[in-house]
Amino acid sequence: MRTWLLIFAFFIGLSSLTYARQADPPHGLSEIAAFSIFTDAIRNNDHEMAIQFGQWMLEAKPRTIEGVTTFRLDRQFERLINVYIAIAEDEADPTEKAKKLQKADDIYELTFETFTEDEIDQFRWFHQRGRFYQEHHNHLAATLQDAFAWYEKSYNEDPERFVESGDGFFVRLLISNYINRGEREKAMAMIDEVEELASPELQSELDQFREQLFESPEERIAFLESRLDNVTGEERELMMAGLFELYEDTGQSDKAVDMARQLYELNPDFENTRRVADIYISRGDNQSALPYLEELLELSPAEPTTGEILLELAETHQQLENFQTARDYARRASNVSAVRGEAFVRISSIYASVVSECTSGRALEFNDRAVYWLVIDYLERAVEEDASLRSLAQRRIETYRAAAPSTENIFFSDWDRGDTISINGSIGECYAWIDETTTVR
């Protein structure tokens, strides 16, 4: 290939980069010969020769070159842009620098005139032109706002790739520009759109941008409420979720409840169902919370979460004095290893509550106190499963041990220490459904 360069070197005016418009390869060469010289010149950073033997492609726009299976015309346009930029960067004369950069810009324009959106990676070309303007606007008729306009086009073309570019640098750049220009709606729309695509670091910065946009939560509420009727689908759901949080933060509980219900009606997924259940639980309306907790059980994405919901159902039924149902849910939770210890604590609590319910209006008798041995059994099992529960369990064990039958009570009973006894209807009809055994202590 160096032979080609030597043969044609004398054709090139090394001191000038002004070439006539040409639709054919120079000097009567074949397309493949001219292209070979062009690629060799690119490889050797011979910018002047690259332009001499590449200029014809801008005019002729050959989509193929016989014998070159990997030929892509858009790639050659890009190479020529880079050649002109490289020459400009080495140019000391501001006027000449501007001329070379303008030639590069002309090729950008020609690219968009020549190729359809299916023929080139539009995101990449939009983004590159934005960077070109950002880096060289001081020597062009373009401004920084022109750079931002091309970045905006690349963002609209492919938001996900835009967010990934520069680890979110260009997202920050565009949002900052919107804020500086007072285009709050554009800034907010972009923040909302890119949030789910952003890295944790970028998400933190998006939150800071929001703080710049609004002086108070009330101002943000007013802004979101004004936009709510104009959006649909996922965007509407995200906006409603944001309003719910703001209503809660500002103490507007009625509006928060109403928004939570609307979100559930719009999309009864795990998150929206969880939100409604939490509202009822926080208000102490356990009966209303139950159907939502049961739905969550069906929607649960993973076993640990399922275990937690089973425990919530057990606790909620316990508070409603549905003790047998509460135990059923706690037993199901005990099959989930992540919450087994907590499930045993819950069963102990349920049985302790049963004693209180069964003795309401009367004094504790020996048989009632015997149930506390079973309560202690479950607390000890909880510690065996989860050592982190030791402190809690130990405090409760001491409490229930004091309430269980004393040594004197046992002496005057039909039982001896170490006997296995049944906690069922034999000690009282109220305890029939428990149907478990424990040991006299």
pLDDT band (50, 70, 90) for residue 20: very low
DSSP 421: E
Query: What percentage of the chain exceeds 90 in pLDDT?
Result: 76
Average pLDDT over residues 237-248: 92
Contacts of 417 (CB under 8 A, 6+ apart): 410, 440, 441
* Mean pLDDT for the stretch of residues 165-183: 91
Q: Taking the CB of residue 16, how many other CB atoms lie within 10 A of it?
A: 8
User: Rounded distance, CA 33 to CA 47, Å?
Assistant: 18
Considering only residues 6 and 330, tell me which one the structure prediction assigns the higher pLDDT. 330
The answer on pLDDT for 301 being more than 90 is no
pLDDT tens per residue across span 190-219: 998 998 899 989 988 998 898 788 878 898
Please enumerate in sequence order all residues whose Cβ is within 8 A of that of 165, keeping only pairs 6 or more positions apart, or say none: 127
Higher pLDDT, 84 or 22: 84
Asked whether 246 and 224 are in contact (CB, 8 A), the reply is yes
Q: What mean pLDDT, rounded, does the chain reach?
A: 91
Mean pLDDT to the nearest integer, 322-351: 97
251: left (phi over 0), alpha (psi -120 to 50) or beta: left
Q: Which residue has the higher pLDDT, 48 or 24?
A: 48
Q: CA dist 275 to 46, 76, 214, 259, 333, Å?
A: 65, 56, 26, 10, 22
> Average pLDDT of 251-280?
94
Residue 187 contacts residue 175 (beta carbons within 8 Å): yes
pLDDT of 16: 38
pLDDT above 70 covers a percentage of the chain that reads 95
pLDDT for 378 beyond 70: yes
Question: pLDDT band at residue 409, thresholds of 50, 70 and 90?
Answer: confident
pLDDT at residue 357 tops 90: yes
Assess whether pLDDT exceeds 50 at residue 126: yes
* Residue 4 scores a pLDDT above 60: no
The secondary structure of residue 25, as a DSSP letter, is -
pLDDT at 19: 40
pLDDT exceeds cutoff 80 at 27: yes
Nearest one of 386, 395, 304, 305 to 349, comparing CA atoms: 395
Residue 22 has a pLDDT of 60
